[in-house]
Structure 1
Amino acid sequence: MDGSAVKAILFDLDDTLIDTSRAGGVAMRKTGELLKTTLGLDDVTVSTVCEKFKQKLFLESFDPTAGRSIDEVRVGHWEESIQEAVGSRSTHPLAVQCYHLWKNSRLEFLSMSPETRDLLTHLRRTYKLLLLTNGDAQVQREKLKAVGCEEFFDAIVIGGEHAEQKPSPSIFRLCFSKLGVEAKDCVMVGDSLDTDIKGAFNAGVLATVWINRTGGVPNGSVKPDFTVPTVLELPGILAQIERR
């Protein structure tokens, strides 16, 4: 490691190391079937309910000190989504069912591929590895338990357990401190331009690697140093960095 320009790699979790979007899609389809059979809804209305839930999830701002658990908040998302789409009938028991089916199905289908596990095992022989993920602490810890990937990392930092999350420079500085390295020693790997790439760039890392699964074009003021469709191409990127 001492002769390497790169000493540490910071990885995002969702849609970088694990396919959270795919698992979420499976979970949403199963929950949609529950709604369809329970309420006798047509496909369009079911789709509307699910899209409303996804939008609430995307806009979610959870305060763990507010007196409600993340589970209660997300049951509320389902209850509101059903009421907004089909009317004001009492839906709390169904919302509880929807939430737990969606949550448990998503966790069930989350996995880290054998190829990714092999990659992390290989990289850890040369580099320090840290997992840096945004999100509520309970939710992300449940994902880590479901996937069983803690063993691959020298440290794990979950944004919801700290005052600030990505792209704040403070959480990147925390990561550097945990690994005993400087920003210039690190590469950040993630799928979000706004949080992973922008945050790491502002924190002064050596290089950023954007996981672009969809083939989209980066936009905004911050451009990744490297773009790949899968984390499995990271060894080739690291070789390029070392040759610079």
Structure 2
Amino acid sequence: MTATRRTRAVAIDLDDTLISAYRRPDLAWRRVCQLYQTELGDLAPDHAARALTEAGRAFWSDPESHAIGRGAPRQARRIIAAKAFEALRRDGCATPSPEIAERLADAFSLHRDRQMRLEPGADAVLVHLRDAGYRLALLTNGAGPLQRAKIERFGLASHFHHIQIEGEVGVGKPDPAAFRRMFAALAVEPAEVCVVGDSLVWDIRPAMALGCFTILYDPEAGEAVGRGSGDAHVVVRTLASLATHLPGAARPPGASDRAGLRPPGADNAHGGG
């Protein structure tokens, strides 16, 4: 599917869209628990990792906790570790001291930071979209200093006409006010905007409700990507394939099908690339 309306602007999410930041917490917790095997004592690393993953899932599923965690992720992980070990103690498991739990949580934060990277094709597609005449916005939740540090670290600022961070403006996704603020900054109407993100809840559904064209970035999507009512117009597995679904953007120079970009219409049968 390709946007058929006059698309003038593209608004893109940061975490787990332009940069790989927070995917697969289960693997990250497992790695850290393996490194802390001695400190865990009789508690098996895999057992600890499962408890930490479950505590993290519960924490981030709660809207109030999520709001706190976005502003202070390091502290959020300390809370998650404390809750995980508390649950294990209730189940009769021996657990390490609170000090060890905090050290393990901080190790998780450090591991996340070291593993953070730019998603494949991110720079190239941003350059191409801007050269094709699109107004570009970076629309991200989180604390200002934290998100600005990521933007600077990966050299993203120069690509965008507008950068909007929840912690700097006081409103974030999925609040419609966050999107409307971006529309005003770019001087565009909702129907003229394509919103790209990795989350149906935070990026796609609120943008669709306002009348935007939407592209869900899901690098783990299967070949047959089935989406129900209220989900994204398009699902892509690579950032390079964004251009396939935007009129006038065509194919990024030098891109190949093997790099994840397919000719326009090649994947229309199942809704994305």
Instruction: Look up the match of 1:45.
Output: 47
Partner of residue 55 from structure 1, selected from 51, 57, 61: 57
Instruction: Look up the match of 1:31.
Output: 32
Instruction: Look up the match of 2:158.
Output: 151
Instruction: Look up the match of 1:172.
Output: 179
Aligned-pair distance for 1:236? 1.0
Tell me: CA distance 1:108–1:25, structure 2 relative to 1, closer, same or farther (3 Å): farther
Tell me: CA distance 1:149–1:202, structure 2 relative to 1, closer, same or farther (3 Å): same
2:135 touches 2:186 (CA, 8 Å); kept in 1? yes
Q: Per the alignment, in what secondary structure is the counterpart of residue 47 of structure 1?
A: helix
2:10 touches 2:193 (CA, 8 Å); kept in 1? yes
How far, CA to CA, are the matches of 1:176 and 1:88 in structure 2? 53
TM-score by length of 2: 0.73
> What amino acid does structure 2 have at the position aligned with 1:81?
A
Partner of residue 80 from structure 1, selected from 76, 83, 86: 83
TM-score by length of 1: 0.81
> What amino acid does structure 2 have at the position aligned with 1:109?
Q
Partner of residue 208 from structure 1, selected from 198, 207, 214: 214
Is there any run of 5+ residues in structure 1 with no aligned partner, and where?
none
> What amino acid does structure 1 have at the position aligned with 2:15?
D
How far, CA to CA, are the matches of 1:37 and 1:74 in structure 2? 20
Q: Number of matched residues?
A: 235
Shifted more, 185-194 versus 79-88: the winner is: 79-88
1:62 touches 1:70 (CA, 8 Å); kept in 2? no
Instruction: Look up the match of 2:9.
Output: 8
Partner of residue 218 from structure 1, selected from 227, 234, 251: 227
> What amino acid does structure 2 have at the position aligned with 1:169?
P
Q: Per the alignment, in what secondary structure is the counterpart of residue 14 of structure 1?
A: coil
How far, CA to CA, are the matches of 2:123 and 2:104 in structure 1? 32
Q: Deviations over 1:156-193 (max 9, x none)?
A: 22234444432221110001112222222211111222
How far, CA to CA, are the matches of 2:150 and 2:97 in structure 1? 28
> What amino acid does structure 2 have at the position aligned with 1:51?
T
Q: Per the alignment, in what secondary structure is the counterpart of residue 239 of structure 1?
A: coil
> What amino acid does structure 1 have at the position aligned with 2:246?
L
Aligned-pair distance for 1:25? 5.5
How far, CA to CA, are the matches of 2:59 and 2:152 in structure 1? 21
Identity %: 28
Question: Is 2:241 the counterpart of 1:233?
Answer: yes
Aligned-pair distance for 1:241? 9.2
> What amino acid does structure 2 have at the position aligned with 1:61?
H
1:209 touches 1:225 (CA, 8 Å); kept in 2? yes
Aligned-pair distance for 1:62? 3.6
Q: Deviations over 1:185-244 (max 9, x none)?
A: 211111222221111111222x1112233235324x41322222222101111138999x
1:155 touches 1:179 (CA, 8 Å); kept in 2? yes
How far, CA to CA, are the matches of 1:6 and 1:17 in structure 2? 20
Q: Deviations over 1:138-170 (max 9, x none)?
A: 543444344342222222222344444322211
2:40 touches 2:96 (CA, 8 Å); kept in 1? no
How far, CA to CA, are the matches of 1:22 and 1:61 in structure 2? 16
**Equivalent runs, 1:85-234 vs 2, <5 Å:** 85-86=88-89, 91-113=97-119, 115-125=121-131, 126-205=133-212, 207-213=213-219, 214-215=221-222, 217-219=226-228, 221-234=229-242
Tell me: CA distance 1:163–1:46, structure 2 relative to 1, closer, same or farther (3 Å): same
Is there any run of 5+ residues in structure 2 with no aligned partner, and where?
251-263, 265-273
2:40 touches 2:95 (CA, 8 Å); kept in 1? no
